[in-house]
Amino acid sequence: MMESKYLEKFLWMAERVQELDVATGQGDIIADLPRFQKLSRERASLLPAVEAYEAYLKLLRDIEGARELLNDPDMAEEAKEELAALEADEAAQSEKLKLFLIPKDPNDDRNVILEVRAGAGGEEAGLFAALLLRMYLRYAERNGMRASVTDINETELGGVKEAVVTLSGGSAFSRLKFESGVHRIQRVPVTEAGGRIHTSTATVAVLPEAEDVEVEISREDIRIDTYRASGHGGQYINRTDSAVRITHLPTGVVVTCQDEKSQLKNKEKALRVLKSRLYNLFRSQAEGEYAQNRRAQVGSGERNERIRTYNFPQGRVTDHRIGLTLYKIDAIVDGDLNEIIDALTVEEQTEKLKALE
């Protein structure tokens, strides 16, 4: 049976859900939309744990009932078999229930601002960044997420110097947060005539998208510039000043967007990215770790800082954080990332469970 110290936490959750049921039915809270949304999200986050807890309590009652039947000569044999099955189920359910006690990242259910940048390796690094960008767009498509390229700076050979993508739905941050860091590729690039294997890098940063109620941007604190878009984009490119650059004057954060024909739509997208960058900046500064966190997330792009290696000659992908190697590189770069992400999630949960002991 689960230890009482854990059961007490679930009892508190159950009581809290009852309190929230009452609170979200009150007129003054319903009228206060931000507060109502906050309390509703809290209830939704607690409900799965409470439902699992109630199912576990029912299982304990069933076990107690089976034990009582052991004293009945006519039912003892059947009760013994049932009790063995119930106790095995209890052990499994107890471990699953503990997962709900792992402190949840408050950003897990948020949408994502994903940034890909070419690192070390010249033109090949740009081609690798383009490959990573396509990989994440395919991952979004495979997993029912909505993806939109907010800004992209391409190279002459079709590579990417940097790109910014918004991904929404499917608890995007909880799935993609492990992608932050330096990615390394080993292959014979198209620019290599001698057939030698080159090593290049690209950096990925995954930022949770900020909500409007969390970051307020004063009009006096931003400068908005418009200019003509460049790159591959259709006949409207270079004909109208549709591209938008927004500079947040107090921090110097700059965001650009040029993927829409409408200047207004580009401005709206750029503001979303700006809010997310400021949210992460302010959150990190409040913890006193902004510079350290940023470097820890994307590093400097050097080859020895990699979190993952994509080795094309051997057909393998290795995630160095957990020592996982998969020989399915074509599928992975086509967006089949779930096996890697699942393994990283399990590793994170295991470490957090150890901290509960």
- Please write the tens of the pLDDT for every residue from 306-337: 899 999 999 999 999 999 999 999 999 999 99
pLDDT of amino acid 16: 96
Q: Is the pLDDT of residue 239 over 70?
A: no
pTM exceeds 0.85 for this model: no
Residue 203 token pair:
């950096």
Q: Tell me, yes or no, whether 62 lies in a domain.
A: yes
Per-residue pLDDT averaged across 30-49, rounded?
Answer: 91
Question: 307 lies in which domain range?
Answer: 112-212+289-356
**Which of 37, 69, 101 corresponds to the end of one domain?**
101
- Same structural domain for residues 140 and 35? no
Q: Tell me, yes or no, whether 265 lies in a domain.
A: yes
Residue 77 CB coordination number (10 Å) = 10
Q: Tell me, yes or no, whether 296 lies in a domain.
A: yes
pLDDT of amino acid 354: 79
The least confident of 212-216, 244-248, 272-276 is 212-216
- Same structural domain for residues 157 and 225? no
The Cα 40–Cα 24 span in angstroms is 7
Question: Is 229 exposed, middle or buried, given 0-12, 13-18 or 19+ CB atoms closer than 10 A?
Answer: buried
Q: Tell me, yes or no, whether 184 lies in a domain.
A: yes
Q: How many domains does the chain have?
A: 3
What single-letter DSSP state applies at residue 209?
P
- Same structural domain for residues 203 and 326? yes
Instruction: State the pLDDT confidence band at 193, using cuts at 50, 70 and 90.
Output: low
- Same structural domain for residues 165 and 16? no
- Same structural domain for residues 54 and 9? yes
pLDDT of amino acid 4: 86
Residue 165 token pair:
């993508």
Answer for the pair 247, 225: CB distance below 8 angstroms, yes or no: yes
Residue-averaged pLDDT of the chain: 87
Q: Tell me, yes or no, whether 107 lies in a domain.
A: no
- Same structural domain for residues 282 and 351? no
Instruction: State the pLDDT confidence band at 294, using cuts at 50, 70 and 90.
Output: very low
CATH of the domain at 56: 1.20.58
Q: Is the pLDDT of residue 293 over 60?
A: no
Higher pLDDT pick, 302 / 107? 107
- Same structural domain for residues 237 and 135? no
- Same structural domain for residues 195 and 252? no
Q: Is the pLDDT of residue 237 over 50?
A: no
Q: Tell me, yes or no, whether 106 lies in a domain.
A: no
- Same structural domain for residues 194 and 310? yes
Rounded to 5 degrees, φ, ψ at 253 are -70, 130
CATH of the domain at 318: 3.30.70.1660
pLDDT of amino acid 184: 97
- Same structural domain for residues 203 and 295? yes
Sign of CA dihedral 107, 111, 113, 119: positive
The least confident of 7-16, 52-61, 168-177, 256-265 is 256-265
Q: Tell me, yes or no, whether 66 lies in a domain.
A: yes
pLDDT of amino acid 170: 84
- Same structural domain for residues 266 and 309? no
The least confident of 17-31, 51-65, 219-233, 259-273 is 219-233
pLDDT of amino acid 29: 93
Residues 6+ apart with CB under 8 A from 201: 119, 120, 121, 125, 128, 182, 183, 184, 185, 301, 302, 303, 305, 306
Per-residue pLDDT averaged across 180-203, rounded?
Answer: 87
Residue carrying structure tokens 């006519």: 74
pLDDT digits 0-9 by tens, 130-187: 999 999 999 999 999 999 998 899 998 889 999 999 999 988 999 999 999 999 999 9
Residue 54 token pair:
């109630």
The Cα 33–Cα 44 span in angstroms is 16
- Same structural domain for residues 134 and 83? no
Q: Tell me, yes or no, whether 188 lies in a domain.
A: yes
Residue 261 CB coordination number (10 Å) = 16
pLDDT of amino acid 233: 44
